[in-house]
Structure 1
Amino acid sequence: MKNDATSPIISLGEFKDGVQRYPLTGIKVLIVGAGIGGLLAALECYRKGHSVLVLERAPSLSTVGDVFATHPPGFSTLKYYPALLRDYQAGSHDTQISFYTRQGQFVAASEPEWRDTACEREAGGRIGVTIPRPAHAAMLMGQIERLGIPVLFGRRVVRYTEDRQAGIAAAHTDGGECFDADVIIAADGIHSAAHDLLKKGSYPPYQPTNSYAARAGFPRELLAPGPQLQSILPKPGERDVTRVYCSKDVHLFLDATQTYVSFCYVYKDTPKPSQNTCQLSENTRHKYEHPMALTPAELLAIMTKDPDWDPAILELVSQAPREIMQWSLNFRNPHRQWTSPGGHVVMIGDAAHTFLPTSGNGAVQASEDAVSIAECLRQGGRENIAWSTRVHNTLRYERVSTIQRTGFVNQDILDSVDQVSQHPDAVILKIGSWMWGHLPEKYAADNYRDALAALRSGVPFENTNLPPGYKFREWTMEEEQERQSKGIVSDLRSNGDWTA
């Protein structure tokens, strides 16, 4: 019987909490980071028959944050976890996305492009467009606990090592512990120490974009009632709300349900002296990983530098019951090597590729990574771990790099909302079925052998997880920012068919 991702699972695997496991592979996987990519990688590696241990630097699972956007590739394997799928369907927000000017003038609205498509049904059915970060983390952790996957908190990994001859890698913590495995999935963010394994100068340093994101999320019941504020929140019986307020260099994303409210305010500012681009060492890396806490009054002082904000939005921010966490939006230019020299450490999520919030894709691509690497390891088996991580890298890089660039293109669209208000459809951020219709598990299963053969023979592999007719090219943040400063319209979406 053909043993790929779409074939019936042979009967040797364990069945637990409704999850059918593949036969054991003997591959020992260590996952560093319990974020979106790391937790899903733990589930997928378990399901594919690998042995899994997760390390997380925080003392406990995070309970703060706003929401993130998702679409079918991000939840394409949830159908294999019945309880988790039910959690997603109940906990995600099924919204229509509406666009407004900063002053509160309605511009346009859109439904998800994938709604009621075969792709949505294949991915497990109707799931909301947004989901709160704390709820999402709790859902994944709940499934991990039900399956008995071990997670160790309070383990900050400061160094990775690799023994190519022995075919193992190790993660070393700041507490002096060492954890080894056949393969380490580094899902520990933009400042991951896994970069230190690469040849010095072979990967770009992270650098500030001079943009910031101030995020908050809280129960709606904590807001004082009032007609002004209630005008932007869903009334009893109404569906959930996602509003995007747009202006030059300023965007605010509001997500609201009957029980939960969150917002993310993104703005540009002059860089602070402490934000100089730097290559972090294991001794300094942790100092740059935490956000700044703002009071509502402090954020309002920043926002009102731009006049004429919708009063309802200002009222919402003023009532935020918790500190607002502001992150510097840092970016690392796309780089092709996500694996260590010996192939036994592989980076996923922000450790491999960073996204601007305007891409609406950071969480989805971390999820695609998780699904892809688990399947590639299964396809190759224990004897081909190093090749399997490289195949995963090959299958993912061009797609991810292209989607990263959309963050800058979407910035242009949102920045020009005042000019396009006479043509409202121009502001709707359509992405195309090549993006939302992708099935990362199937793609890895279908293309593993051909990609492996290409790598072994040294010939290019042609990916098909891109817009039809698209010709991939490298790009940098500096090029995009220079284009934006000159007012040049991006040609990205004229390369290939982005409507397909």
Structure 2
Amino acid sequence: MNGTSGTVVDGVYRYPEKGIKVVIVGAGNGGLTAALECWRKGFDVVVLERAAELSPLGDFFTIPPSALTTLKDYPRLYKKYHSKVHDCVVRLMTPSGHVVASLMPEWKREGIVHACPEVDISFLNRRPEYASWQLEQVQALGIPVHFSTQAENVTETDDKVIIHTDKGDYEGDVVVAADGIGSRVPWPVPGGLSAVKDSGYAVARVAFPRDTIKKGSPAEALSKSVDEEGPQFRTYVGGDDVSLIIFLTKDYVAWAFSHEADAYSAESWHNLRDPEDIIKVIEKSSNDWDPAVLDFVRQTPVKVVDWRLMWRDSIEQWTSDKGRIIKVGDSAHAFFPTAGNGAVQAQEDGISLAECLHQAGIKENMPWATRVHNTLRFQRVSILQQTGFVNRDELHHSTFDESAHAPDGEAPPEVGFFKIGRWVWDHNPEDYARRSYQKCLEHIRDGKKFYNTNIPPGHVFKSWTLESEYKRMAEGGHSGLKENGYWGM
């Protein structure tokens, strides 16, 4: 189908072409989402990625409804996604294996209707698998992706941006910096290459095929629970600033171990580690660990990457001063794993940005579009970044005895990690950008009043930093973040 009404490619309806080029640097979740959405909205898109291919590494992540609101628009990707739906109960456990709480994700509970009811939300997604589905959809639409292409510098004028790479120059009307917290590009954005800080925390994460677990071993009994109970997300709270999450699915299993970056951790960004080293740290927190859990970690068939979690404080301006460069995902906002929102907000970014660019319509208005997107997103993302500290603090400083048990379907009141809130997962970033664009533009351009409604109802936004959170935690202070506005369902 062609003409002014748009075209259909690989079952995807594409808006009429605008003759506006968007160059995306980085092929992670945020970059590929931005590529798909910008292409669908009629922009000419090219993706540059410094790696030779998508990384096969990675375990599981959770993508709630808010980041999947446009999945229905991509039949190929929609089908791939639904081929691996891991629906599971979330459990909070003591080191010995006692279940303190067992509950469904908020958006899966009875009577709940969320932002994309046509999608059967999978609580667990394998990161490399999901990325490969995104890339396959991008390539099926004919969007160029140039791997092994390192962006080295950037030149921005009033009407265009040129990305200088080791393979030549790429010119665009808008450039999307989706190259992560470790970007090597001197982006002309406030705080562009500001120092990345060591957060003081580390996380070891690894995934491996379930069939590598030895027959008859204690770990096999743990993995076999999948056959009776289905996929599982188990959070073991060990105290002493330690928590261990175990992911169990039919084909793949994984674990993620969060701890302070103490003497066992490298002084670099990451360090290849033997599972026995991890077990030593785990056992320091409690002498009551379930032998099956320790055996599960011990049988990890590959080396473990123990990442020091790096941090860059929130910067309110994600655009260049001229407005033709915009950061998305980790490039704009770092997340701790305990926030459960890194990939989610990167994908929301891609959806929101594409709609803002579409609303702007013409080349001359592209700088306004990036600024509107930035304004619509900053407070929401900053609040969710802060939940990573709050959740981690609650998880790592909670202890439960063997008699502890929350009512069915509820989380212990002291652990807000399991309390997310409708404002998070019931958000539709495309619809929000469409409805809010003009009022937000008038706010930026003309000084008219505008208040974001994609944050907790009644929330009073407060700025914060890594240092302010450290100080609060060191003094034993209660955050109060989740009492600021309505965080219920």
TM-score w.r.t. the length of structure 2 is 0.92
Query: Equivalent of 2:404, from 397, 418, 422?
Result: 422
Distance 1:58 1:15, change over 3 A: same
Contact 2:226–2:232 (CA under 8 A) maintained in structure 1: no
Query: Equivalent of 1:301, from 255, 274, 280?
Result: 280
Query: Equivalent of 1:457, from 434, 441, 446?
Result: 446
Whether 1:12 aligns to 2:23 is: no
Counterpart position of 2:258: 266
Contact 1:190–1:351 (CA under 8 A) maintained in structure 2: yes
Q: Distance in 1 between matches of 2:147 and 2:385?
A: 30
| Deviation of 1:336 (Å) | 0.5
Q: Distance in 1 between matches of 2:256 and 2:330?
A: 19
SS at the partner of 1:456?
A: helix
Distance 1:490 1:423, change over 3 A: farther
| Deviation of 1:119 (Å) | 4.2
| Deviation of 1:236 (Å) | 2.4
Counterpart position of 2:358: 378
Contact 2:265–2:271 (CA under 8 A) maintained in structure 1: no
Q: Distance in 2 between matches of 1:42 and 1:251?
A: 36
Q: Distance in 2 between matches of 1:383 and 1:326?
A: 46
Structure 1 gaps of 5+ residues are 1-8, 276-287
Whether 1:402 aligns to 2:373 is: no
| Deviation of 1:211 (Å) | 0.8
Counterpart position of 1:391: 372
Counterpart position of 2:476: 487
| Deviation of 1:459 (Å) | 4.3
Distance 1:307 1:118, change over 3 A: closer
Query: Equivalent of 1:186, from 158, 177, 182?
Result: 177
Counterpart position of 1:95: 88
Whether 1:254 aligns to 2:246 is: yes
Query: Equivalent of 2:426, from 437, 446, 451?
Result: 437
| Deviation of 1:71 (Å) | 0.5
Counterpart position of 2:393: 412
| Deviation of 1:10 (Å) | 9.4
Counterpart position of 1:335: 315
Query: Equivalent of 1:218, from 178, 193, 208?
Result: 208
Q: Distance in 1 between matches of 2:29 and 2:117?
A: 18
Report the residue type matching 1:238 in the other structure.
E
RMSD over aligned Cα, in angstroms? 2.3
Contact 1:210–1:271 (CA under 8 A) maintained in structure 2: no
SS at the partner of 2:348?
A: helix
Q: Distance in 2 between matches of 1:86 and 1:129?
A: 16
Whether 1:130 aligns to 2:124 is: yes
Whether 1:321 aligns to 2:311 is: no
Contact 1:395–1:451 (CA under 8 A) maintained in structure 2: yes
Distance 1:220 1:482, change over 3 A: same
Counterpart position of 2:64: 71
Distance 1:237 1:494, change over 3 A: closer
Distance 1:493 1:147, change over 3 A: same
Distance 1:118 1:214, change over 3 A: same
Could you list the structure 1 runs, at least 4 aligned residues long, displaced by more than 6 angstroms after superposition.
271-274
Contact 2:149–2:167 (CA under 8 A) maintained in structure 1: no
**Residues 162-198 of structure 1: CA deviation (Å, up to 9, x unaligned):** 112xx1112222x252212111111100122456413
Identity, % of aligned positions: 41
| Deviation of 1:343 (Å) | 0.8
Larger mean Cα displacement after TM superposition, 425-434 or 399-408: 425-434
Q: Distance in 2 between matches of 1:451 and 1:10?
A: 32
| Deviation of 1:452 (Å) | 0.5
Report the residue type matching 1:404 in the other structure.
Q
| Deviation of 1:461 (Å) | 2.5
Contact 2:59–2:254 (CA under 8 A) maintained in structure 1: yes
| Deviation of 1:25 (Å) | 1.6
Q: Distance in 1 between matches of 2:101 and 2:27?
A: 37
Report the residue type matching 2:76 in the other structure.
A
Q: Distance in 1 between matches of 2:226 and 2:424?
A: 33
**Residues 382-408 of structure 1: CA deviation (Å, up to 9, x unaligned):** 221100000000000000001111111
Contact 1:73–1:123 (CA under 8 A) maintained in structure 2: no
SS at the partner of 1:447?
A: helix
Structure 2 gaps of 5+ residues are none
Counterpart position of 1:282: none
Q: Distance in 2 between matches of 1:302 and 1:273?
A: 10
**Residues 7-65 of structure 1: CA deviation (Å, up to 9, x unaligned):** xx996211122111111121101111111101111111111111111111111111111
Contact 1:75–1:123 (CA under 8 A) maintained in structure 2: no
Counterpart position of 1:4: none
Distance 1:449 1:47, change over 3 A: same
Counterpart position of 1:284: none
Report the residue type matching 1:226 in the other structure.
G
Distance 1:123 1:41, change over 3 A: farther
Contact 1:78–1:124 (CA under 8 A) maintained in structure 2: no
SS at the partner of 1:57?
A: coil
**Residues 65-109 of structure 1: CA deviation (Å, up to 9, x unaligned):** 111111001211101112211211222421111111233222111
Whether 1:242 aligns to 2:221 is: no
SS at the partner of 1:498?
A: coil
Report the residue type matching 2:14 in the other structure.
R
Contact 1:72–1:119 (CA under 8 A) maintained in structure 2: no
Counterpart position of 1:278: none
Report the residue type matching 1:153 in the other structure.
F
Report the residue type matching 1:71 in the other structure.
P
Equivalent residue runs for 1:117-196 within 5 Å: 119-120=113-114, 122-164=116-158, 167-173=159-165, 175=166, 177-193=168-184, 196=187
Larger mean Cα displacement after TM superposition, 416-425 or 81-90: 416-425
Distance 1:10 1:388, change over 3 A: farther
Contact 1:18–1:81 (CA under 8 A) maintained in structure 2: yes
SS at the partner of 2:107?
A: coil
Report the residue type matching 1:247 in the other structure.
G
TM-score w.r.t. the length of structure 1 is 0.90
| Deviation of 1:245 (Å) | 1.2
Larger mean Cα displacement after TM superposition, 97-106 or 355-364: 97-106
Q: Distance in 2 between matches of 1:460 and 1:328?
A: 41
| Deviation of 1:370 (Å) | 0.6
Report the residue type matching 1:111 in the other structure.
M
> How many residues in Structure 1 have an aligned counterpart in Structure 2?
475
Q: Distance in 2 between matches of 1:310 and 1:274?
A: 27
